[in-house]
Chains A and B, each alone.
Chain A
Amino acid sequence: MDEFEEFLDEGGIVEPNDDMPEAYRSAIFSFIEMHANSEYMGGLTERDWIPRAPGLRRKMTALAKTQDEIGHAHLLYMVAADLGVKTREEMVTDLLEGRTHFHNVFHYRVHSWTDQIAVAYLVDAAALASQQAVFKNCSYGPYKRILRRVIAEEGFHMRNGEEMLLLMARGTDVQHQMMQESIDRWWLPSIQLFGPDSKPDDELLRWHIKSERNEDLRDRYIQKLVPQLLGGGFSIPDPALRQDSEDGKWKIGEIDWRPLEEIMRNGGPDSSRRISDARRAWYDAEWVRAALDEAAKADA
């Protein structure tokens, strides 16, 4: 392990067929599996809003974003499967049976179109920031290479989100009010997406899977998002929020981590509905997979 860690510290890149300590294999696998699950669950939320998005252009954008998210899940499941820990089918089954995890933000209900905008901006900006921090210096080659594509597409999504948020900021009083309510609902989940402060001996950092500590990423996000939201005439649902008079940095109040702890047990506000909805979507499409397999066999 010491030799392996030295190799990683020198910028070594690990490929699927290389020897690697089982602990590393298991850590990188779980990390990618969780990312894949989250893309998949996010794609299903996006899908829900295709018929309800206002106007043809937004429907088409929602359609493209759904394809991107499901596509990311596909890419990531392929990369994870090549680690030989679980097959793609086992990963999907574990997700649908609630045995594995996905990002906290997809354990909440999306109530309105402005909630969907909050997801598209607040959540995607947070997800993008944490993916960029992995991409920057990730020691597992296939994951780093595929993240390039994922990040490029998440960039489009975040820009769409920002565009829609700015439109709401300049919209009617009702639109502005609706957007405010959504920011109130999604601010804390977005902040919690980064997770609690990294432990001093975090192996994801030591093995160069992550390159930045959770608290640093979270702080950078806050410095970026707070002025943007205030600039749009919105408020932030944190009574303790203040700007430091010395360094000008925004400081948030104490974070209540209990919601995240419940979510990590798949016991969030919308977890069970989300999981059963994903299960239904998967089994409803069983006949398509079966038909494709049959057709392929008939060809052969």
Chain B
Amino acid sequence: MNTYEVFLKKAGKEPFSHAGSLDAPDDELAVAYARETYGRRSEGEQMWVVDRTALLVGDEINLAMADRDHKHNDGRLVAELRQFDR
């Protein structure tokens, strides 16, 4: 048995999201089980089924310091400058 992770995408602009996992003996059955387990009431119109061992997992260390001030603009200076204009 292999463990698979299932992702579903609803219609429209919604991104794929994780639905859950399942055990299956092979890829063909994994897709069939995924449909029956997570998609049997039109929960999505596209599905990704990924062998868990193929997932590359990034942790807190990989994501550390990813977010810094200079990547945002909170608009405070713009607000100040607009006041100065008047």
Contact = CB atoms under 8 A, between A and B. Distances in A.
A255 interface: no
Nearest to B37: A71
A247 to B, nearest CB: 41
Contacts of A292: 25, 29
A146 B36 contact: no
B68 interface: no
A88 B23 CA distance: 10
Contacts of B19: 149
Interface string B1-36: 101000000000000001111110110110000001
A137 to B, nearest CB: 21
Contacts of A146: 20
A67 B36 CA distance: 9
Interface residues of A, number: 18
Contacts of B18: 145
Contact of A75 (B25, B37, B41): B37
Contacts of A293: 1, 25
A241 B28 CA distance: 56
Interface string A55-98: 00000000000010001001100110010000010000000000
B25 A74 contact: no
B41 to A, nearest CB: 8
Given A292-B29, A296-B29, A67 B22 contact: no
Given A75-B20, A146-B20, A296 B26 contact: yes
B76 interface: no
A295 B32 CA distance: 15
Contacts of A23: none
B71 interface: no
B40 interface: yes
A293 B37 CA distance: 19
Given A67-B36, A67-B40, A78 B22 contact: yes
Given A67-B40, A71-B36, A71-B37, A78 B29 contact: no
A87 B18 CA distance: 22
Interface in B21-64: 21-23, 25-26, 28-29, 36-38, 40-41
A296 B25 contact: yes
Contact of B23 (A67, A78, A79, A153): A78
Interface in A136-194: 145-146, 149, 153
A149 B36 CA distance: 13
5 contacts: A75-B37, A78-B21, A149-B20, A293-B1, A296-B25
Interface of B: 1, 3, 18-23, 25-26, 28-29, 36-38, 40-41
Given A78-B3, A145-B18, A299-B28, 19 more contacts: A67-B36, A67-B40, A71-B36, A74-B22, A75-B20, A78-B20, A78-B21, A79-B20, A88-B23, A145-B20, A149-B19, A149-B20, A292-B25, A292-B29, A293-B1, A295-B25, A296-B25, A296-B29, A299-B26
